[in-house]
Chain A
């Protein structure tokens, strides 16, 4: 069964850092590109970042560029999102989703940025 499980969310103060993880199973992770997508409370879905299967191509939304870093470890079947200089507006449920077309999603992990 294809499965994505996010972890690492929590409460952090403005200006702080957090590292999200996404553990993949049930498919050949190293062959798949991956995305991070978020949903702020009461808001719609927002694409955050994309990484190709080999990490050779990476994109970010303007709202997180320069603050967030996407990475992956194909040997560990894991995707990461390093989030620095966090702001209140980064408060959201963060999902990882597989492939360019986002065919499979994890259950999400909640990030709350508040003092």
Chain B
């Protein structure tokens, strides 16, 4: 299985400051069709997960442009340019290239 490793697992951030979450896969996530199926999800307290980013860097509709995704192969990053109070929650990367699909452990973002 492709093991997804996120860091840090806890991320205290001051409002208005940037934040960055790393996600590393144990296998290359480049699929035979040339796409890289690495997604990012946000889970706010008491809410369902919400997809933020798909295929490494494509932002979903309605997702603020302060969120961005980057990376390739086995190393990926989610960045928030300026953290807002509504960004509190747990962030997960997930690979959809290999079966079984696997999630990272989650990174809990809190306001310092």
Partner of A45, one of B41, B55, B96, B99: B41
Binds B, one of A12-20, A81-89, A98-106: A98-106
B106: chain A residues within 8 A (beta carbon): 44-45
Digit string of A43-57 for contact with B (CB within 8 Å is 1, else 0)? 011110010000000
- How big is chain B's contact interface, by range? 20 to 34
What are 17 A-B contacts defined by CB distance under 8 Å?
A35-B101, A37-B49, A44-B90, A44-B105, A45-B94, A45-B103, A45-B106, A46-B103, A47-B94, A47-B101, A59-B99, A100-B96, A102-B39, A102-B41, A103-B54, A105-B50, A105-B51
Q: Which residues of B contact A (CB under 8 A)?
A: 37, 39, 41, 43, 48-51, 54-55, 60, 90, 92, 94, 96, 99-106
